[in-house]
């Protein structure tokens, strides 16, 4: 299978060498790799250039965005900048972060999943972070959710969900829309990805309200948002984040911000979330 990689990168001089080296070692190599240097002020561009010189399938694109690292919108706009440079001659496409070390069989395994079932629309592994010398699971989401750091999409699925949305919650709405259209989302626990930088490390202080805004934009409604907020705050071991998430939700609702989904899709999402909650309670 042919696949393309798009790697948004903002000030990743400490990590991107390891990421690109792990891509070079893949048992199934990508057809094309585009690194989008997103307004970096460090040596990210120079490092990527050194790889481009020896790899004709690797390209560098410079994107002059706002330097402020707002979750969701910045990274996806950079992704879209890279997407504009590619054709549609691929079987699956991957949004990849620039601070990862992938196992050498990562994309070969991803391709095998896609080949095994034409209804599989998305596939991904699991993120591990280093703690006290050990690599432990970065346990911030359910095991059936693919982390935004390494999302792989079958072309037909990617096109049907309308690509990626430049907003907080993009890496949740993509899966929910995939399910809305009948696609399967597969996670593979054998694929252990080393995540070199903690999630959200560069977010500014106002970003903590964005999660609640994202829950609103997904059409969750208040009570599902409250449950999801409590769960996420506890997983992050910061209970007071619950209040920030609720404030973000209420602020978005009072401003009547547009949803990322249609009313029909929002209804499906609420029903899906409620069914998952019921399964966990009554299992």
75 beta partners: none
What is the spatial distance between Cα 247 and Cα 65, in angstroms, rounded to a whole number?
28
Q: What is the pLDDT of residue 130?
A: 93
In Å, how far are 81, 87, 103, 169 from 19, measured between CA atoms? 20, 24, 11, 24
pLDDT of the chain, 283 residues: tens digit per residue: 999 999 999 999 999 999 999 999 999 999 999 999 999 999 999 999 999 999 999 999 999 876 555 667 899 999 999 999 999 999 999 999 999 999 999 999 999 999 999 999 999 999 999 998 999 998 777 789 999 999 999 999 999 999 999 998 999 999 999 999 999 999 999 999 999 987 654 444 566 788 899 999 999 999 999 998 998 888 888 898 999 999 999 999 999 999 999 999 999 999 999 998 887 777 6
Could you tell me which of 237, 172, 267 has the C-alpha nearest to residue 211? Answer: 172
Q: What is the pLDDT of residue 69?
A: 54
Q: What is the pLDDT of residue 254?
A: 94
What is the spatial distance between Cα 114 and Cα 135, in angstroms, rounded to a whole number?
28
Joined together, the tokens standing for residue 209 give: 């309200």
The answer to pTM > 0.85 is yes
| Whole-angstrom Cα Rg for the chain | 18
Enumerate residues 6+ apart whose C-beta is below 8 A from 137: 126, 127, 128
């Amino acid at each position: 299978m042919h696949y393309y990689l798009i790697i948004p990168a903002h000030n990743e001089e400490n990590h991107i060498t390891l990421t690109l080296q792990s891509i070079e070692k893949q048992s199934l190599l990508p057809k094309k790799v585009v690194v989008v240097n997103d307004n970096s002020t460090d040596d990210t561009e120079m490092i990527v250039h050194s790889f481009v010189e020896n790899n004709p399938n690797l390209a560098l694109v410079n994107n002059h965005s706002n330097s402020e690292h707002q979750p969701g919108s910045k990274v996806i706009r950079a992704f879209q900048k890279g997407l504009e440079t590619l054709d549609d001659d691929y079987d699956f496409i991957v949004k990849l972060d620039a601070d990862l070390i992938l196992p050498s069989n990562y994309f070969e395994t991803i391709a095998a999943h896609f080949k095994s079932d034409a209804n599989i629309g998305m596939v991904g592994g699991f993120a591990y972070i280093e703690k006290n010398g050990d690599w432990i699971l970065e346990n911030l989401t359910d095991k059936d959710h693919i982390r935004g750091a390494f999302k792989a999409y079958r072309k037909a699925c990617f096109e049907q969900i309308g690509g990626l949305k430049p907003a907080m919650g993009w890496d949740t709405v993509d899966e929910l829309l995939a399910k809305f259209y009948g696609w399967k989302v597969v996670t593979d626990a054998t694929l252990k990805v080393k995540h070199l930088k903690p999630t959200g490390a560069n977010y500014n202080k106002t970003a903590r309200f964005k999660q609640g805004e994202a829950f609103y934009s997904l059409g969750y409604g208040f009570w599902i948002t409250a449950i999801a907020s409590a769960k996420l705050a506890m997983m992050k071991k910061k209970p007071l984040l619950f209040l920030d998430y609720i404030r973000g939700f209420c602020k978005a609702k009072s401003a009547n911000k547009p949803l990322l989904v249609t009313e029909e899709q929002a209804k499906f999402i609420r029903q899906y979330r409620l069914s998952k909650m019921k399964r966990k309670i009554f299992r």
